[in-house]
Structure 1
Amino acid sequence: MCRCIRLQALIGLLFLIFMVPEFKAKAQVETIASQRQLFVDDFLVDQLERAELEMHRPVDEGIAFNLDKLWEGKFSLYTTIIKDGGTYRAYYRGLPDVKEGNDRELTCYAESKDGINWYKPNLGIHEINGSKDNNVILVDNQLTHNFSPFLDTNPNAKKSERYKALAGKKVTGLYALTSADGIHWVKMQEEPVLKEGNLDSQNVSFWSSSENKYLVYFRTVDSGFRSVSRASSTDFNSWDQGVEMKYGPTPLEHLYTQQTSPYFRAPQVYLAIGGRFMPNKQVVSDEQAAIMGIDPNYYKACSDAFLMSSRGGNNYNRYFMESFIRPGIGLNNWVSRTNYPALNIVQTGDTEMSIYVNHDYAQTTAHLRRYSMRLDGFASLSAGYAGGEMLTKPFVFDGSALELNYSTSAAGEIFIELLDEKGNKIPGFSKEECQPIIGNELERTVYWNKNTDVSKLIGKPVRMKIYLKDADIYSFRFY
């Protein structure tokens, strides 16, 4: 009898859990405050109906600058772009017409006032080939293989250490460097600060405002594949033990570089736009390589650019497995270690941002190329002419209005609806009360009944339902 009662109670409990909505496990409520939200992952996506997250490929804008100085050469690589106020700075490895990894590696520097037109200043720091008329900032072979700097946004950073960098190889470990002007560099200490990992590609670091510490993402190996680990520090000198980054259910691939950095319009999102390496996938024949003058070690594989993201911790979200930037037309784009993106995305216009990619590796035509995108335009919530919908997970925001970065066709439109945590319409914020959103704008405030004020919902868990027809939403934020 007792067992029957227990069985009936268990059946009743299971019924309540699976059949009655109030007894279902509550969805986690995310706190987004006034942070801009991108569609590079499914962080806020609960349901999609006839809509999808769509990746957008950058537009090729041509050569930014050639790597044609005698001390630069066809093995130049591992570029970093930094925007500091009105100055754009480029750092990259220079290596003449010899195999990489030798003692002739240098760190070179270029500059721009708009991110489009670049020049190489004669810095007068190091003597190269009998002259100081060059753009070389470092000659120390311990540091020049993969020197990777950043502009330190830590509010407590010293003015003399506005710029920081990590550089080194597996045999040396990574050294910490600082600079006041981004051109003249000194070691923070004589001993390396990080010794774990393979470290033989670009190891990138930055100050994370969302995690309140320094982070470094460095080369390791996972099951025989080139992969990524990360470590953290509060002072850039003492680092914790690195942890492997996880990629979720996606298959392992060789991630030669990863270029993880905070997106400047949404720093809580770390974007990784790196180089995917496909070993033994040969496109260029031996005969073609001979005609092109390519070193035999650098055409029996190919590579392209990928996009993934992280919101902290040791997890990447690789929502899109397709190539972010496909190799271009011509065999010069299909050799090993070409198509490697530079570190950082920078704004280069009122509506435009740019990413830079090394092209024609191991060839005399080696150069850096610029690609453009609309601001926030990595990916979008997208639906076709038939229309679609997205329902978000519950979230808490801070702000008095909602802003969209979006585009529609002339026939398209967008409606926004705010719901409570259980999915019920909130009076005053329904689809029927929303003013249709039509056009192509970076900053469009949403109106309901000719009103934009959403402040009475601050701090309350809400969901957002988006209706869209022949339209894309690239980002949104409450402000």
Structure 2
Amino acid sequence: MLLPSLAKAGAGATVLPTSDEGPITIGSRRELFVDRFLIDRLDGGVSLDLERPRDEGIALPFDRPWEGAFCGYATVLKDGDRYRLYYRGLPQAGADGSAVEVTCTAESPDGLRWEKPELGLFEVDGTRANNVVLADMPPFSHNFCPMIDPRPGVPADERYKALAGTRQTGLCAFASADGYRWRRLDDGPAITAGAFDSQNVPFWSEHEGKFLCYFRIFADGYRQVARTSSDDFLHWSEPERMTFGGAPLEHLYTNQTSPYVRAPHLYIAIAARFMPGRRVISPEQAEAIGVDPSYFGDCSDAVLLSSRGGSSYDRTFMEGFLVPGIGPENWVSRTNYPALNVVQTGPHEMSFYANQNYGQPTSHLRRYSLRLDGFARVRAGYGGGELITHPITFSGRRLSLNFETSAAGAIRVEIQEPDGRPIPGFSLADAVETIGNEIDRAASWAGGEDVSALAGRPVRLRFSLKDASLYAMQFIA
């Protein structure tokens, strides 16, 4: 079922119109400003802006003989106090699903420093001193994509799950107790309708109460995305083609859709946007960096999409999220492809990773960091402006903000009736200026921080911003 289109910001009168659909129930969910879901109006030059990730350098070189220039389709998982990385090892190009492909792993205590364990599970290139978790099982190492099943009571030997396969085999289900030793869950394919020639991403959705898988299809001449759902990881629904809210179609090589860890009702997709035939570098530049001759005729970057469930992506931002870096090595085919999942790597920081220098001797995985919740932001300059939300209902006692201001800037919050009239005690005149740069700070008024008297009641929020950015908000106890 398609989701209803979301309202856009626009001009309005002093008394604001209300929707026949009723207020948006947000309860105590953290809401990120990655789309216009909550936004009714942006006034006074306030804008909704995409953030730019910080380049944190090489996280992992693909420098083992069984890894090489064509490593790809990485997945990063957080398991307790450890981080796990999985990726395809492939030293030379070939047909999808060849016997040369292996699935490799690396581990980290913090998501910053990575090591390749010597597992001894498979002999590859004459040695068992390697980090290979799957080999000699073509075509499944082509795009092996694991997940951790977080549900209580999951059998211990199925806590790790994975999907892998090609069009010829369909997607087959795997399971593991430790993430190293994998077995097939069934003899036949679990999902059969799809192209399956790139990464196919499964996860458990707390929001929808089922397993989801997002995967590649070809439609209308473009690489696009479909999704399917399951209650048991073995039997999957008829796939639905994802829509993009009327945005222009683009080739999305991988979609990398996953629930955001701090707001699992919100799915974030850092998708690889592929530009076939858009050649940037010359043959001479290609020769100088040692790229495979078949892999410099195209270029790619990454774009940010989001979804709140169902068969619809929001494409508020068409511009590049991860843009190629300086140097010809960043402008080859199939580079800048993000790994699956965004993970927290510090008290105020989250990270994602991307394959770079594809098809080159210097192929590696690179880390990029962002402020927690900071995929995008509502931004006002020195002249100031306002954000007014649609009517909402909430639960909680405090309104926590993830924000930053300059030394001269500030944020004030007014709570209004649905028609825009200020609620006594919570007007802009009552609001205390919120100044600083914090992940979690409660808004306050002359009477304090407590807003519990308004819980469950339809209200609007009016944010007055001056030289300030707002990343996320949450009503908390």
TM-score range normalised by the length of the shorter chain: over 0.9
Q: How does 1:134-145 map to 2 (within 5 A)?
A: 134-139=130-135, 140-145=137-142
The alignment's TM-score, normalised by the length of structure 1, stands at 0.94
More helix by share: 1
Mapped to 1, the partners of 2:75 and 2:390 lie a distance apart of: 36
**Equivalent in the alignment of 1:99:** 94
Q: Deviations over 1:19-54 (max 9, x none)?
A: 9x8997535311111110001100101111121111
Q: Secondary structure of 1:173's match? A: coil
Q: 1:436 to 1:66 in 2, by over 3 A?
A: same
Give the gaps of 5 or more residues in structure 2.
1-12
**Equivalent in the alignment of 1:9:** none
Mapped to 2, the partners of 1:242 and 1:233 lie a distance apart of: 11
Q: How does 1:161-240 map to 2 (within 5 A)?
A: 161-240=158-237
Q: Secondary structure of 1:132's match? A: coil
Preserved contact between residue 70 and residue 359 of structure 2 (Cα < 8 Å) = yes
Q: Secondary structure of 2:85's match? A: strand
Q: Secondary structure of 1:297's match? A: coil
Q: How does 1:376-395 map to 2 (within 5 A)?
A: 376-395=373-392
How many aligned positions are there? 460
Amino acid at match of 1:118: W
Preserved contact between residue 16 and residue 418 of structure 2 (Cα < 8 Å) = no
Q: Secondary structure of 1:71's match? A: coil
The alignment's TM-score, normalised by the length of structure 2, stands at 0.94
Mapped to 1, the partners of 2:16 and 2:318 lie a distance apart of: 37
Corresponding residue to 2:275 among 263, 273, 278 = 278
Q: How does 1:53-452 map to 2 (within 5 A)?
A: 53-99=48-94, 101=96, 102-139=98-135, 140-452=137-449
Mapped to 2, the partners of 1:296 and 1:286 lie a distance apart of: 8
Q: 1:121 to 1:22 in 2, by over 3 A?
A: closer
**Equivalent in the alignment of 1:8:** none
Q: Secondary structure of 1:64's match? A: strand
Q: Secondary structure of 2:195's match? A: coil
Q: 1:419 to 1:76 in 2, by over 3 A?
A: same
Q: Deviations over 1:338-357 (max 9, x none)?
A: 00000001111111111101
**Equivalent in the alignment of 2:29:** 35
Q: Secondary structure of 1:229's match? A: strand
Preserved contact between residue 75 and residue 99 of structure 1 (Cα < 8 Å) = no
Residue 463 of structure 1 deviates from its aligned partner by 0.7
Mapped to 1, the partners of 2:418 and 2:192 lie a distance apart of: 48
**Equivalent in the alignment of 1:6:** none
Q: Deviations over 1:118-150 (max 9, x none)?
A: 010000100112221100000111310001111
Residue 434 of structure 1 deviates from its aligned partner by 1.1
Mapped to 1, the partners of 2:247 and 2:202 lie a distance apart of: 25
Q: Deviations over 1:211-248 (max 9, x none)?
A: 00000001001211000000000111110000000001
User: Which moved further from structure 2: 128-137 or 157-166?
Assistant: 157-166
Preserved contact between residue 18 and residue 419 of structure 2 (Cα < 8 Å) = no
Give the gaps of 5 or more residues in structure 1.
1-18
Q: Deviations over 1:60-104 (max 9, x none)?
A: 010001001000010000000001111010000000134352220
Mapped to 2, the partners of 1:391 and 1:434 lie a distance apart of: 15
Bigger Rg, structure 1 or 2: 1
Amino acid at match of 2:277: N
Preserved contact between residue 75 and residue 100 of structure 1 (Cα < 8 Å) = no
Amino acid at match of 2:390: K
Residue 152 of structure 1 deviates from its aligned partner by 1.1
Mapped to 1, the partners of 2:145 and 2:133 lie a distance apart of: 13
Mapped to 1, the partners of 2:435 and 2:390 lie a distance apart of: 25
Amino acid at match of 1:225: Y
Amino acid at match of 1:64: A
Mapped to 2, the partners of 1:256 and 1:395 lie a distance apart of: 36
